[in-house]
Every structure is written in C-alpha cells, then in structure tokens.
Amino acid sequence: MSEAAPPAKTSIAPQKVLGIFALAMINVAAVLSIRNFPSMAEFGWSCIGWYIIGTILFLIPLSLAGAELATMLSDKGGGVYAWCKEAFGEKGGFVAIFCEWSNNLVWFPTVLAFIASTLAYALSPALGSNSVYLFVVMMIAFWGTTAIAYFGENVSTKFQNYGVILGSIIPSLLIIGLGIYWIVSGAPIVLPPFSPGEIVPTFNLSTLPFFATVILLFAGMEMAGFHALETRNPGRDYPKAMAISAVIIFACTVLATLAIAFVIPADELSLAAGVMQAIQYFFEALGIPGAVAPMAVLITIGGVVSLAAWLIGPAKGLGVVADEGNLPPVFNRTNKYGSPVAVLVIQALIGTIISLLYVFLPSVNQAYWILSAMTVELLCIVYLLVFASLIRLRYTRPDAPRPFRIPGGIHGIWLIGGMGAFGVIFAFIVGLMPTGDFTSTQAISYVAGVLFGTFLLAVPPLIFLKLKKPSWVEGGTIQEESK
C-alpha cells in the first residue's frame, strides 16, 4: 500500500470586498491625525504654507504614484513590496517593505501612549501620568487591534470605515465648525490680520528639522495599495479613492489646524504637552468644557484606527514576502481569514517589549528619541524607492497596462517622481539634524546613532536573502487549521 502524499499547503484566495469608500477610508485612517494639529497651529497663518509644501512635495506625488503603481500591479499583493520588486527585483522590494514594517516597531509605542493619555481625559486626567494605567490601556489597544486584524479584511475594513468617521473625520469637522462659530460670533482671533505674506514659512536652522515632519505628515497614502488583491475594481476604484482621501485629508488638516490657531495663543500651544490640553483650552474658551470628555473618546478611537491601518498594511506586505519564500517558514503562517498571523504576533510581541521600556524606564528617553528619528529615516527610504520605481517602470515596462496613468508622458513622470524624491531626500537629510540644545559631541553621537540604527533596521532583508533556502520557497503559505 503506497503512502499517502502529504496535504498541500494552501494559500487563501482573497475576497474582493473593497470598493472606493473602503480604500479611501484606509488612507484617511493612516494619514489624518488630530494629534498633529496643535503643533502645526503654533505656526499661525504660516501653517498653510507648511501644509502646501508637504502637499506639493509629498501628498500629491505619492497619491499619483500610488494610483499608477497600484492599478498597474493590481494582480499582485504586497503594496510597496510588489511595486519596488517589479522595478528593482527582490532586494529592492524586500528593503522597501521591511523598512516600512520595522519603523512601525518604534512608532507603535508613541501612538499607543497617545491613545492611553487621550482616553485619560475621558476618565480622569490624572491617570495620564500613571505608568500602570498607561501600559494596561496601551496593551488593550495594541492586542485588541491585532485581534481585529486576525479576522481578516472584511472585519478590519468595517472597523476602519466606521472608526475613521467617528475618530478622525467627525472630530475634525467639529473643530472646524467651532472655529467658524468663533469667527461668526465676533470673538477675537488671536492670529494677526491675514495677508498673503503671513502664509510664507520662515526657513532657518531652527525650522529646517521641522521640514522632515511636514513632508511626512501625509505618510500613509500608500496604505490602500496593500489591499490590491481584495479590491473589486482596482483600475476604476484606486484613482478615485486616492483623490477622495487626499481632498479629505488636506481639507480637514488645514481647516482644523487654523480653527485651533484662531482660538489658542501660540505661547499656550507651545506649552501644551499634548493634543488634549489644546482641545481642553479650545473648548473652555468656547464655554463648553463638558465637550472635552466626549471628544477624548472620539480622538481615542481615531488613534486606534490609525494604529490598525499601520498595523495590518505592512504586515500584509511582509506576509507576501514570506509567502514567496524570502523569510523563514515561521513567517508564512496565515489563518483561514487570510491574515498573516505569524507576522502580526511577532510585531505585537516586539511592540509590547518596546512599550514596556517606554513606560517604565524613563531613563531611556534619549535613546528613544534616536529611535524616533530613525522612523523618519526609514520612511524616507521607503518612499524614495517608491518614487524611483514609478520612474523606472515607465522605462522598463512602458507598454504595461496602466488603468490610471500620470499625464504628461515621461516628462510628467519625472516631474511627479522627481518632486517626491526631492522631498524625501531633503527630509532624510534634515531628519538627521538633532533637535534641542546639543553640544557638538552630542550632536555627532546623535547623528551616528540615527544612521547606525537606520542601517540595522534596513539591512535584515539582504541578510535573509543571503541565507535563503530552497525549503523556504517550497514551504509556501501555511494555513492554520480551523479549530
């Protein structure tokens, strides 16, 4: 009697569940962040100029690049991995997605701390300084969001669709509406009278490091690209979703920031420790202090939704890398919903450890600021590869079907790709500049630490490809048995 062949390892056929609205909300969830508004409002009218710079050098180029690449490669999963792999091979694709994934490991604790401290305003503001409370809420948010991602695209998309409306769009519209009410009621505006010259940003050594922050305020516009295989009609839906999300993000960001700037003096903003202190001042000035707690709940939801978008997108991309045999088999595991459970659990465990250090070991703050700067550098690497891929593929695959094509031919591609590449290269350079008062010795150590750390988090793909074994490829995708 012959032995039965072992059961084949199967991959999950993705469900086509995403349309224009869902794709747009994925991008809005990843990009629109209320916690940036107070820091930008400090610049007064010139925040408009800063936002315009970020829009021209990053938001528009990335939106157009994402629309062309996502529709051209809509039959491939992995988002930036698929785009960069098509242009530069496995090394380029692997480095791009790994940098996007590894930067999250350091970013997760910051957004988790934001979620916990914001929720404290709905419970008791004093809890915001309680380490045990912070860690417990951070872990509930982190592992809860990971659990939602476990149940696949259908569940996580519905969560993001409702969550981004409740936690990002509605709070932004409320702030905008209250700002309009402030003006209509005749209350004094703390900004100087408007003039076109007021919107021009001031460029000097103290504001240059801020440029990197402005450029990457709109990071995340590529998130919808990770969901290509689950999109009903990529050629039609991606460009529309990109346009809708870009308009929503820009309008909400600029108008809500100005609304806060109208009400709160710049010196109060500079002293504020966080977004909820600014929101509290805002509502007290408007005579509705009771709105602080409900707003805290909404903004907390927005933080969780942003976390979810960044948690699942790069994890899906890394799952595709593992599925193609470029990572050890342990990374290949998916469940019956098609979620990359191994990657989700690994990143949750690493994020938990970093969060533990972040909450309970304040002495690591200096090292943590270096790690935070590395997130900017790693994202710059990702987006430079994306813009380079956009340009290269017009030369290597000029006749490939592109349901959405950036107009202007090769000149249009160089204009859009060139602007985006210039923006991220400049952001990478100024991102190395230390903030605060540093001695020359400390500044050198800071830059060396950021560069060395960025190298360590960007180089693992090259090591994995060097160690790649045939058994990794043969393993395919391992599906968890349904219990």
Model pLDDT, residue 395: 95
Residue 467 lies in a domain: yes
Model pLDDT, residue 92: 92
Residue 482 lies in a domain: no
Of 235, 218, 169, the residue nearest 52 (C-alpha): 218
Model pLDDT, residue 14: 55
Q: pLDDT > 90: what percent of the chain?
A: 22
Residue 1 lies in a domain: no
Model pLDDT, residue 2: 38
Phi, psi of 193 (to 5 degrees): -55, 145
Tens-digit pLDDT profile for residues 340-361: 888 889 889 988 888 887 777 6
Model pLDDT, residue 93: 92
Q: What is the mean pLDDT of residues 222-247?
A: 79
Number of domains in the chain: 1
Residue 417 lies in a domain: yes
Residue 406 lies in a domain: yes
Tell me the pLDDT band of 7, cut-offs 50, 70 and 90.
very low
The domain containing residue 196 runs over which residues? 20-476
Model pLDDT, residue 481: 41
C-alpha to C-alpha distance for 334 and 10, rounded to whole angstroms: 10
Phi-psi bin for 271: left (phi > 0), alpha (psi -120 to 50), beta? alpha
Instruction: Determine which of 239-248, 332-341, 406-415 has the lowest per-residue pLDDT on average.
Output: 332-341
Q: pLDDT > 70: what percent of the chain?
A: 89
Phi-psi bin for 124: left (phi > 0), alpha (psi -120 to 50), beta? beta
Residue 10 lies in a domain: no
> Angle between the 409-430 and 208-215 helix axes, to the nearest 10 degrees?
130
Residue 371 lies in a domain: yes
Model pLDDT, residue 478: 46
Of 427, 381, 389, 426, the residue nearest 406 (C-alpha): 389
C-alpha to C-alpha distance for 88 and 111, rounded to whole angstroms: 32
Residue 244 lies in a domain: yes
Tens-digit pLDDT profile for residues 468-478: 888 777 555 44
Tens-digit pLDDT profile for residues 97-133: 999 898 888 888 888 888 998 899 888 888 877 888 9
Read off the CATH number of the domain in which 152 is found. Answer: 1.20.1740.10
